[in-house]
Chains A and B, each alone.
Chain A
Amino acid sequence: MKKFLTNKSTFSNYMTYAGVVIAFIILTIMGEAGGLSSTMKGQLVPVCAYVVMALSLNLTVGVMGELSLGHAGFMSVGAFSGAVVASALQQAIPSDGIRLVIAMVVGAILAGLVGIVIGVPVLRLRGDYLAIVTLAFGEIIKSIVTNLYIGIDAKGLHFSFLNPLEGLEAGGRMIMNGPMGIPGNTKISTFTAGFILIIITLMIIFNLVNSRSGRAIMALRDNRIAAESVGINATKYKMMGFVTSAALAGAAGTLFGMSQNAIIASKFDFNTSILVLVFVVLGGLGRMWGSIIAAAALTILPELLREFSEYRMLIYAIVLILVMLITNNPGLKNLFGKLIPRRKGAAENE
């Protein structure tokens, strides 16, 4: 117990779990009691999905130290594969919950596989070159998904690329329709599912970071040459971090997709990747609770700013620039530090 309190990172991890559980309980009670507007209720699952996206990207950017600009691509893979699986299993498995779990597992595995395919070339590059290639892969995934047609009939699933699918048997139906995506999606994601996914994600990331593999990943981030000199296989551990991150993003994608009436590929473009990156950087690199708060706040903020309607994105942009300037410029930081008295010792805890 003494060790538990003295170890800063363990303490912060448990506080993060506690915070998520408390937020879940409060929001659930508020939802039951009618204390949440319908817009807010509709935002609960997407917020969970973006939180998981931010956490998983923080694994790549914060823990691995590699800039990825194509994270939405993995979300896209998860959203579409999960939705196709859920749709195909509609008759076979009537329970929404079980179907969602299967969809998420499939979404995570497929996104992880795509992560392996992308990781092999990407992780050989460094710095900004790596970033631009992840961006390129994100756009390639978008193009591929946009041109994919999937239908189902008595014989099973049918796929077509670029050309609309023809020749489905009577009683068959289209699931995925190229540029139109998945128009008629059955929403089966729930806030509880989102909460559980966040907890699982946190457990995977925290436990990974505090294990042999996680230390190897962080060693490569801090000093690749030194890490190799003590026998750490760079490719293996970079891949491990990248694929874990991709799989978690895939699960987040399934969660998100299954909360929407329609899913289209252009939703998961470069801008979404950037949006998630903004959550991660504002929340703090490697700081998981920061990612959770930033993702939740910045997903809800545009909704809250709705009364400013057309000005809201402009305000968002200005807030973003100001926050970056204030937190990263020593002069401005001191100025604001004087205006907002900080809790004593807060600085040391960071």
Chain B
Amino acid sequence: MLTFLNHFINGISLGSIYAIIALGYTMVYGIAKMLNFAHGDVIMVGAYVCFFAVSAFNLPPVLGLLAAIVLCTLLGIIIERLAYKPLRQATSLAVLITAIGVSYFLQNAAQLLWTSNPKIFPDFFGGIAIKMFDGQLIITLGTLVTIAACIIIMIALTVFTGQTKMGKAMRACSEDKGAAQLMGINVNATISTTFAIGSALAAVAGVLLCSAYPSLVPTTGSMPGIKAFTAAVFGGIGSIPGALLGGILLGVIEIFAGAYISTQLSNAIVFLVLIIVLLVKPTGLLGKQIREKV
């Protein structure tokens, strides 16, 4: 029972990281209707920035995180301006391939700058953990911080999209860009802001991810990126609560599949569950059902 609980907590923790990445994915998808495959690589960049800020410049972890957030936000805006904005009118496939190009670019640039030797990410939480039941149930500080970060981000985003002017503009743009523009909303600025927020979230996720799984290489972000995308689809892409739900479920399923079925097959099981969910609910758990008008 206690092992089960331990796995469950680990699952929630991993799921929270997926959820944070998935939130960024879902927001960008909702507004730009594009699969931003470079999102996972922004995570990797965020993790490297934090790593160097802390290990080379001896900054405290909080400032390292802040540096990662600032640089990733800038990176997100630059990528959007240079690579995606010129393709506003292009087919979604063209944008997808460009995103793949950006992903290759970031990975290879990282490899040139920082080599493919793994960097060992420092443990910010000093191994502090709550131990219960004679140490059989362990909850680390990192786990608590991750879960807390996820909840805070989720609430902040909900308030932001629901209450603020920019948030409302975002929702308007995701419904109908043309109509939003006619209502005087600056669509380009709104899309840029969305990318900025998504990239900032990626930076947070990168730091949390590498705190939990310390080996950092240029391809660190790609698999979590794909899985977080899966999580976003799982929960219903475009939906903020959906991304949270999808992320957490995905994390829990992955940890449980690894623990109770087979570690080699945990990824396969995660994807299998995704397929089953989509077959039952073709637009994800909380996705909107859209009926084509005939």
A residues with CB within 8 A of B: 61, 67, 121, 124-126, 128-129, 131-133, 135-137, 139-140, 143-144, 146-147, 162, 225, 270, 274, 277-278, 281-282, 285, 310-311, 313-314, 316-318, 320-321, 324-325, 327-332
B156 contacts the other chain (CB 8 A): no
Chain A residue with the shortest CB-CB distance to B93: A281
In the bound complex, how far is the Cα of B283 from the Cα of A244, in angstroms? 27
Cβ–Cβ contact B267 & A143, under 8 A: yes
Cβ–Cβ contact B278 & A129, under 8 A: yes
Cβ–Cβ contact B87 & A140, under 8 A: no
Cβ–Cβ contact A324 & B87, under 8 A: yes
B52 contacts the other chain (CB 8 A): no
Which B residues lie within 8 Å of A331 (CB)? 86
B271 contacts the other chain (CB 8 A): yes
Question: Which of the 9-residue segments B57-65, B96-104, B136-144 touches chain A?
Answer: B96-104
Which B residues lie within 8 Å of A325 (CB)? 83, 86-87, 98
Provide the main secondary structure of the chain B interface: helix
Cβ–Cβ contact B97 & A225, under 8 A: no
Q: Contact mask B88-116 → A, CB, 8 Å, 1/0?
A: 01111110111011101100110110000
Chain B residue with the shortest CB-CB distance to A146: B264
Q: Contact mask B259-288 → A, CB, 8 Å, 1/0?
A: 000101101100110110011001110000
Which A residues lie within 8 Å of B147 (CB)? none
Which A residues lie within 8 Å of B89 (CB)? 329-330
Cβ–Cβ contact B272 & A140, under 8 A: yes
Provide the main secondary structure of the chain A interface: helix
Cβ–Cβ contact A143 & B104, under 8 A: no
Cβ–Cβ contact B93 & A129, under 8 A: no
Kindly count the residue-residue contacts between A and B in the assembled complex, taking CB atoms under 8 Å apart.
123
Given A140-B272, A162-B264, A278-B97, are A321 and B102 neighbors across the interface (CB < 8 Å)? yes
Which A residues lie within 8 Å of B274 (CB)? 132-133, 136
B223 CB to nearest A CB, Å: 9
Please, how many residues of chain B have a CB less than 8 angstroms from a CB on the other chain? 45
Cβ–Cβ contact A132 & B97, under 8 A: no
| Chain B stretch 218-247: residues in CB contact (< 8 A) with chain A | 226, 229-230, 233, 237
Which A residues lie within 8 Å of B87 (CB)? 324-325, 328-329
B292 contacts the other chain (CB 8 A): yes
Cβ–Cβ contact B282 & A124, under 8 A: yes
Chain B residue with the shortest CB-CB distance to A229: B294
Chain B residue with the shortest CB-CB distance to A135: B226
Cβ–Cβ contact B91 & A328, under 8 A: yes
B221 CB to nearest A CB, Å: 13
Cβ–Cβ contact B94 & A281, under 8 A: yes
B209 contacts the other chain (CB 8 A): no
In the bound complex, how far is the Cα of B89 from the Cα of A277, in angstroms? 21
Chain B residue with the shortest CB-CB distance to A326: B86
Which A residues lie within 8 Å of B111 (CB)? 310, 313
In the bound complex, how far is the Cα of B154 from the Cα of A235, in angstroms? 40
> Contacting B105 at CB < 8 Å: which of A143, A147, A318?
A318
B43 contacts the other chain (CB 8 A): no
Cβ–Cβ contact B104 & A128, under 8 A: no
B35 contacts the other chain (CB 8 A): yes
Given A133-B274, A317-B101, A325-B86, are A143 and B112 neighbors across the interface (CB < 8 Å)? no
In the bound complex, how far is the Cα of B97 from the Cα of A324, in angstroms? 7
B242 CB to nearest A CB, Å: 13
Cβ–Cβ contact B271 & A139, under 8 A: yes
Cβ–Cβ contact B230 & A67, under 8 A: no
A-B contact sample (15 more), CB < 8 A, given A121-B275, A314-B112, A329-B89: A131-B35, A132-B229, A135-B226, A136-B274, A147-B262, A278-B97, A281-B94, A310-B112, A313-B104, A314-B108, A317-B104, A317-B105, A324-B98, A329-B86, A331-B86
In the bound complex, how far is the Cα of B92 from the Cα of A281, in angstroms? 11
Cβ–Cβ contact A270 & B97, under 8 A: no
Q: List 30 A-B contacts (CB under 8 A).
A: A121-B275, A124-B282, A128-B35, A129-B283, A132-B229, A132-B230, A132-B233, A133-B275, A136-B275, A137-B271, A139-B271, A140-B272, A143-B265, A147-B265, A270-B226, A281-B94, A311-B112, A313-B108, A314-B105, A318-B101, A320-B97, A324-B87, A324-B98, A325-B86, A325-B98, A328-B87, A328-B90, A328-B91, A328-B94, A329-B86
Which A residues lie within 8 Å of B102 (CB)? 317, 321
For A131, A147, A324, the residue with the greatest tally of chain B CB atoms inside 10 Å of its CB is A324
B265 CB to nearest A CB, Å: 6
A305 CB to nearest B CB, Å: 12
Which B residues lie within 8 Å of A277 (CB)? 97, 100
Cβ–Cβ contact A321 & B108, under 8 A: no
Given A313-B108, A317-B108, are A136 and B101 neighbors across the interface (CB < 8 Å)? no
Which A residues lie within 8 Å of B92 (CB)? 128
Given A129-B283, A137-B275, A314-B112, are A324 and B35 neighbors across the interface (CB < 8 Å)? no
